[in-house]
Amino acid sequence: MAWNEPGGGRRNPSGPPDLEEMLKQMKQRLSGLFGGGNSRRGGNAQGAEPVPTGGIGILIGGVIVIWALFDSMHVIDQRERGVVLQFGEADRILDPGLKFTLPRPFERVERVDVTQVRSMSSKVAMLTRDENLVNIDFAVQYTVSDASNFLFKVRNVEETLAHVAEAAVRQVVGSRSLDDVQVGNRLEFTSEARTIMQRLLDSYEAGINVSIVNFQDVMVPEQVKDAFDDAIKAREDEQRAINNARAYAADVVPKANGRKARVLAEAEGYKESVIARADGEAKRFNLLAEQYRAAPEVTRKRLYLETMQEVLSKSPKVLIDGDQGNNMLYLPLDKLVMPPPPERSGAAMTPGGAP
């Protein structure tokens, strides 16, 4: 028997189901769900019971209302900001608290944690100002300052931040020598790199606030490490020699300045004493001249006696004028009985003491 022949529209129970009957029943149920009621095109030839549709419609409507209310209510945490997308376009930002929006697909909310400290790190090789190759291992910590810009202004935030950080570090390292990079003020370098990064990110409207830039390690490549160690040792030796020279100068210069001051003081005192003595002799001569003018003979005889006394007091021999006018030699016995000074031998002495 064919599948569409009379007899209930069904084949033998042992055979396959009647497809046409199944399609009709499905069509009737769908019509009931979308407001078709109990009407059927062509009647109820198969004798199927009408499908109740009123309760199902109310149930579906209630579910839709509940879903719309649930989808429109948003609780934004204190750490978060909500970006409202209206038909896919950023419309406004929701602050913390209970907020309401239109349900999807009209509006959708993207949450962004603005207090989370995010980080990225990188290790790159770059040239210094004196054309030395150095490996810089740096890390960057940042937070979100503008949730809308963070989501939509930059396609890939991590990649953009990595490129900006590398460019800033290259600019800082390339403007300094290798010695400055390795032993210089790291805080000054990182502060300058952070300023450059923040300026670039603001120009991109990335919605990022860079908080910390840290140079974790600064190393020279392994191929030149030995030569670089030798250069560092030579520089340390140079600095040690400079320090020793400065210490010696600090010890010698004050002593030399002291001797200089003493010599100058002695010379100044000698000058003052000579000038004072000359002034005294000049005044004495003027006084003698006045006395000489007053009594020439007395003054002449006095000067003669004083001169002879000064000359003869230094001589070991004294000539005395006797009554007969003969000269007599006076021998100073007190001088003769004094022990003679030790004789100095002109012969050379050997190290053992023998001549």
Per the structure, how many domains does the chain have?
3
> What six digits make up the tokens of 44?
């109820």
pLDDT at 334 over 80: no
- In this structure, the answer to whether residues 169 and 136 fall within a common structural domain is yes
Final residue of a structural domain among 289, 315, 346: 289
Task: Label residue 326 by pLDDT band (50, 70, 90).
Answer: low
My answer on whether 131 and 197 are in the same domain is yes
Domain that holds residue 78: 68-113
CA distance 316 to 335: 8
147 and 213 assigned to the same domain = yes
Residue appearing with tokens 């503008």: 146
* Any domain includes 202: yes
For the purposes of burial, counting CB atoms within 10 Å of the CB of 66, is it exposed (0-12), middle (13-18) or buried (19 or more)?
exposed
- At which residue do the structure tokens 């003493």 appear? 262
Query: Minimum mean pLDDT among 4-18, 88-102, 260-274: which range?
Result: 4-18
- The answer to whether position 305 is within a domain reads no
190 shares a domain with 140: yes
Q: pTM value?
A: 0.49
Neighbours of 307 (CB within 10 A): 10
SS3 state of residue 182? helix
Split at pLDDT 50, 70, 90, the class of 197 is: very high
Residues 215 and 174 in one domain: yes
End-to-end CA distance of the chain: 163
What's the half-sphere exposure (Cβ side, CA atoms, 13 Å) at 92? 7
> pLDDT-derived band of residue 72, with 50, 70 and 90 as boundaries?
confident
Residue 74 within any structural domain of the chain: yes
9 in a structural domain: no
Residues 266 and 209 in one domain: no
Mark which of 253, 269, 289 sits at the end of a domain. Answer: 289
Mark whether 260 and 239 lie in a shared domain: yes
CATH number at residue 168: 3.30.479.30
One domain for residues 208 and 172: yes
* 272 shares a domain with 215: no
Is residue 71 within 8 A of residue 104, CB to CB? The reply is: yes
Whether residues 123 and 201 share a domain: the answer is yes
Residue 12 within a domain: no
Does residue 230 share a domain with residue 157? no
Q: Is residue 45 part of a domain?
A: no
DSSP 8-state symbol, 7: T
Residue-wise pLDDT tens digits, 208-221 = 999 999 988 888 77
Under 8 Å between Cβ of 142 and 208: yes
* pLDDT over 60 at 90, yes or no: yes
- What pLDDT score was predicted for residue 314? 72
The last residue of one of the domains, among 220, 253, 280, is 220
Confidence band (pLDDT; 50, 70, 90) for 353?
A: very low
Find the mean pLDDT for residues 41-54.
Answer: 49
Arithmetic mean of pLDDT, 107-126: 89
Q: Is residue 187 part of a domain?
A: yes
Domain assignment present for residue 332? The answer is: no
CB neighbours of residue 33 within 10 Å:
13
Rounded to an integer, the average pLDDT of 151-165 is 91
Average pLDDT value for residue range 280-304: 84
Same domain, 194 and 278: no
